[in-house]
Amino acid sequence: MTQSQQDFYNCSYPELVEILERDFAASKFRATQLFEWVYRKGVTDFSQMTNIGRDLRARLEQGFCFPRATVHDRQISQDGTRKYLFEVDGGDLVEAVMIKQASRMTLCVSSQVGCAMACGFCRTGTMGLKRSLSTSEILQQVNGVIEDAKSFGDSFSNIVFMGMGEPLHNFDNVARAVRNLTNSIGYAMSPRKVTVSTSGLVPEIRRLVEEKVNVSLAVSLNASSDEVRTQVMPVNKRWPIKELLAAVRDFAQGTRKTVTIEYVMLGGLNDTRDDMKRLVRLLHGLPVKVNLIPYNDNAGLGFNSPTRDWVFEWQRHLNQHGLQAFIRWSKGADIAAACGQLATASKRQRPSRLPVLAGEAQAAA
Ligand code: SAH
Ligand code: SF4
């Protein structure tokens, strides 16, 4: 990439239209063609873009670059889950995971290197925030996985922002990535199949609605009382449960979407019978479904996993009280690709064990 070159993957469609008009005296139609070549057909070699004139192609080639994240490592779990370690700009390493489920494959991508939210049960939370990823670095994870998936003859059907980082703490870059993923001349994914998961940044949940970012929402509630939630999720001091659930209600009303409530079950701490009943009351009347996530002990942070029977008991109770509840058992545990296991690494300081994943994708869509 030369200094003056624009990273194509950092442009939304309207931004590309503007750049083409301003710097290339080219029409909107050219932006459409470029989006189609790059995202629909996967072509980044301008010489193949035969419906664009030779002269313009030559100038575009000077103007744009298409960076690729290098696959630093790839591990394959016995259950078919694949974990990718990508090297992005500046040598930072981030993880993306392809999670195999019965009828679909879900791609889980990272939005930041590290995370500022410091949740006590999450490996990523122990490392602090190093930096946010650009839109391009987010899409480069997607592109890298698409490329690699060819050798497996598969691809993903869903994308979740549940890898490293708090996506709504990187709002603009994540929103732009979502727009390109769901643009019909971009990756053309259904907005129902792209999910942003948040620890509960209330103003940014509202921004999703205001700025019409068409995406599914998952909220990591993870406790039924402010006392316990604040203990394990410091963000709760700023945005307590009541305000968070008010934002959930407004999001659901504003978008006519069902919101996924994630509940990591921390044995003995947030999964008592009282919690179960309180959760039913808290969520009463909200258009939500619940994903129960047994705490992943591989995170090694001193919490307990609930027993299988107790997880099923929770599911039964929620279902009986009119709440749709699903259980998200960890996938890819043998390659440390499951929930709450992602910790960072940099190229220069590689730990002896691979960094592990913070967020197994909860196929929330
Ligand atoms: N920052 C966002 C998305 C990444 S975390 C968020 O917090 O929602 C993705 C999911 O993994 C969250 O629901 C989080 O609560 C869960 N998680 C984190 N650590 C976990 C662990 N050790 N076991 C199980 N789930 C965990
Ligand atoms: Fe960050 Fe999500 Fe982990 Fe909390 S659970 S530290 S918000 S990645």
- Domain-embedded: residue 104: yes
Q: Is the pLDDT of residue 348 over 70?
A: no
pLDDT, greater one: 314 or 78? 314
Task: Give distance in angstroms: CA of 24 to centre of ligand 1.
Answer: 44
- Residue 129 CA, ligand 2 centroid: distance in Å: 10
Answer yes or no: do 13 and 95 share one domain: no
Q: Is residue 365 part of a domain?
A: no
User: What value does the mean pLDDT take over residues 148-155?
Assistant: 93
Ligand 2 geometric centre to CA of 39 (Å): 30
Q: Are residues 140 and 28 in the same domain?
A: no
pLDDT at residue 225 in the model? 98
Nearest protein Cα to ligand 1, atom 13: 220
Measured CA to CA, the distance from residue 42 to residue 323 in angstroms comes to: 41
pLDDT of residue 344: 52
Residue 352, pLDDT > 50, answer no
Residues 324 and 200 in one domain: yes
The lowest-confidence range among 104-113, 174-183, 291-300 is: 291-300
**Which sequence positions are flagged as catalytic?**
95, 339
Same structural domain, 175 and 284: yes
In single-letter form, the type of residue at position 37 comes to: W
Q: Say how far apart CA 165 and CA 199 lie, in whole Å.
A: 10
Residue type, position 181, single letter: L
The CATH code of the domain that includes 21 is 1.10.150.530
The answer to whether residues 161 and 39 belong to one domain is no
One domain, residues 86 and 53: no
Q: Ligand 2, atom 6: nearest CA belongs to which residue?
A: 125
Ligand 1 atom closest to the CA of 117, numbered from 1: 1
| pLDDT tier, 331 (very low <50, low <70, confident <90, very high otherwise) | confident
Residues 49 and 139 in one domain: no
How far apart are alpha carbons 307 and 294 in whole angstroms? 8
The C-alpha atoms of residue 205 and residue 207 are separated, in whole angstroms, by 5
For residue 81, pLDDT beyond 50 = yes
273-283 vs 241-255: helix crossing angle, rounded to 10: 40
For residue 101, pLDDT over 90 is answered with no
In a domain, 261, yes or no: yes
Q: What integer pLDDT is reported at residue 360 of this predicted model?
A: 35
Strands 105-108 and 92-100: antiparallel
User: Which tens digits make up the pLDDT trace of 187-208?
Assistant: 999 999 999 999 999 999 999 9
Question: Which is the closest atom of ligand 2 to the Cα of 123?
Answer: 3
Q: What is the pLDDT of residue 107?
A: 96
Task: Tell which atom from ligand 1 comes closest to the C-alpha of 197.
Answer: 8
Residue nearest to ligand 2 atom 4, measured at CA: 119
Is the domain of 59 the same as that of 86?
A: no
Contact 112, 165 (CB under 8 A): yes
Return d(Cα 290, Cα 265) in angstroms, integer: 12
Do 119 and 208 lie in one domain? The reply is: yes
Same domain, 54 and 156: no
Last residue of a domain, one of 65, 91, 109: 65
Same domain flag for 221 and 297: yes
User: Residue 135 belongs to what domain range?
Assistant: 70-335
CATH number of the domain within which 111 lies: 3.20.20.70
13 has pLDDT over 70: yes
Q: How confident is the model at residue 349 (pLDDT cuts 50, 70, 90)?
A: very low
pTM for the whole thing? 0.93
| pLDDT at 351 > cutoff 50 | no
**End-to-end Cα distance, the chain:** 37
348 occurs within a structural domain: no
Number of domains in the chain: 2
Ligand 2 in reach of 232 Cβ (< 6 A): no
* Whole-number pLDDT of residue 357: 33
The tens digit of pLDDT for each residue in 25-60 reads 999 999 999 999 999 999 999 999 999 999 999 999
Q: Does the beta carbon of 263 sit less than 6 angstroms from any atom of ligand 1? A: no
Tell whether 171 is covered by a domain. Answer: yes
Q: Are residues 291 and 171 in the same domain?
A: yes
For residue 220 and ligand 1, the question of a CB distance below 6 A is answered with: yes
- Hey, which residues does 82 pair with through a beta bridge? 76, 98
